[in-house]
Amino acid sequence: MSDKTSAVAASPSGDPWLLTPGPLTTSVATKEAMLHDFGSRDKKFIEINRRVRSSLLSIINGQDDFVCVPLQGSGTFSVEAMLGTLVPQDGKLLILVNGAYGHRMAKICSYYGRAHDVMEYPEDQPVSISDLDARLNEDKAVTHVAVIHCETTSGVLNPIAGVAEVVEKHGRSLLIDSMSAFGALPVDASKIRYDAVAASSNKCLEGVPGMGFVLIRRTALEKSKGNAPSLVLDLYDQWVQMEKTDQWRFTPPTHCIVAFEQAIREYEAEGGVDGRGGRYASNCKILVDGMRALGFETLLPDHLQAPIIVTFHKPTDPKFDFQNFYDRLAERGYLIYPGKLTVADSFRVGCIGRMGNDDIRDALVVIKETLSEMGVENCAPAAA
């Protein structure tokens, strides 16, 4: 253990470590990139914007068939824009749901008055490919299918390659929310077939929050003119304008974009999806092993766990009060996350962001000390 954990831990910029699903700890250089002002029509900024869009396409090997449409706002803005722009008003979306982000897609469809159905699974299970196959055989009205890559509600990994295969077999269009996985787990367009994938600047790509983006098959986007019921969330219009003028339609988040360029450079230097995904996988393993050694139990078995965020059952020991645990960890420089499950009392610890294996080890030491200060002796959950 390094001696910094005996005092207050801090990231290199002196901030608490964010063991959360985002926003996340970013590098000093990424934050420093924001110490400049850019005019949105300035050549330098236009070049940066171009490079960011093209790097994002490279991540999915989509340079030939896909376009990158960035959008102001948090990740949900991009998900809503993806659904609103690509599912036509007379289309029907089938949503594979196993957590809050799938439910959110259904809510978006309700707002928009888009026909939709959900196939719902428990939060601790992946969605089912064979059920989907049967459903698409039955329901010929479904034009599009939506799936969440890593359902951040629990951290469960969904089988997007299998989903893509079934959707392709039935000749429908697949839309993926890869928000919390993009950059750490592959969504390679040269290997799996989909029409769009949405993600954001501030999760595994380790940029700052403020923008999302949707990578869209060009032929699908070309057909989507007039679909979007919202001006600001119309990705077709955003794309056409950006291609024509090199400009965002409305004030771009300039500082976020220049920071994103720096973050993407660091991502590429780390070895892209293999390097970034590899670091997160070892962070995740160290976290899970360490927490199990303290007596905690994970919600998910290891083979369903994405290396993004881990859900732990809340111990039944009456001395374990989550708010107290959270506050004490925050005082020591670590921010964890409450649970979002409907099925079990839980909390979450993220393993993404600019943190290395040693930072996770340090966090585990502080967690152990905190439990002992609280007098918690047994971290096991209630027997199932």
CA–CA dist 156, 150 (Å, integer)? 6
Determine which helix (DSSP H) or strand (DSSP E) holds 70, and give its type and residue range.
strand 66-72
- Given the rule CB under 6 A, which of 35-43, 161-169, 173-181, 360-368 is the region that contacts ligand PLP? 173-181
Q: Which residue has the tokens 């003119």?
A: 225
The SS3 call for residue 259 is helix
- For the bound state, the minimum distance from the C-beta of residue 74 to ligand PLP, rounded and expressed in Å, comes to 3
Determine which helix (DSSP H) or strand (DSSP E) holds 144, and give its type and residue range.
strand 144-148
Choose between 180 and 370: whose C-beta lies nearer to ligand PLP: 180
379 token code pair: 């971290």
Q: Which residue has the tokens 């905190």?
A: 370
Among 74, 154, 158, 201, binds ligand PLP (CB under 6 A): 74
- For the bound state, the minimum distance from the C-beta of residue 238 to ligand PLP, rounded and expressed in Å, comes to 17
Among 11, 22, 45, 142, binds ligand PLP (CB under 6 A): 22
Choose between 162 and 210: whose C-beta lies nearer to ligand PLP: 210
Among 40, 61, 76, 324, binds ligand PLP (CB under 6 A): 76
13 token code pair: 């910029």
CA–CA dist 263, 124 (Å, integer)? 32
> Residue 106 interacts with ligand PLP (CB under 6 A)?
no
β-pair partners for 285 = none
> Residue 200 interacts with ligand PLP (CB under 6 A)?
yes
Give the binding-site size for ligand PLP (rule: CB under 6 A). Answer: 13
Determine which helix (DSSP H) or strand (DSSP E) holds 366, and give its type and residue range.
helix 357-374
> Residue 179 interacts with ligand PLP (CB under 6 A)?
yes
- Given the rule CB under 6 A, which of 56-64, 86-94, 174-182, 242-250 is the region that contacts ligand PLP? 174-182
**What letter would DSSP give residue 314?**
P
Q: Nearest-CB residue to ligand PLP?
A: 75
Is 217 among the annotated ligand-binding positions? no
CA–CA dist 312, 298 (Å, integer)? 4
> Residue 213 interacts with ligand PLP (CB under 6 A)?
no
Neighbours of 116 (CB within 10 A): 22
Binding-site positions for substrate read 348
Name the site residues for ligand PLP (rule: CB under 6 A): 21-22, 74-76, 79, 101, 148, 152, 177, 179-180, 200
Binding-site positions read 348
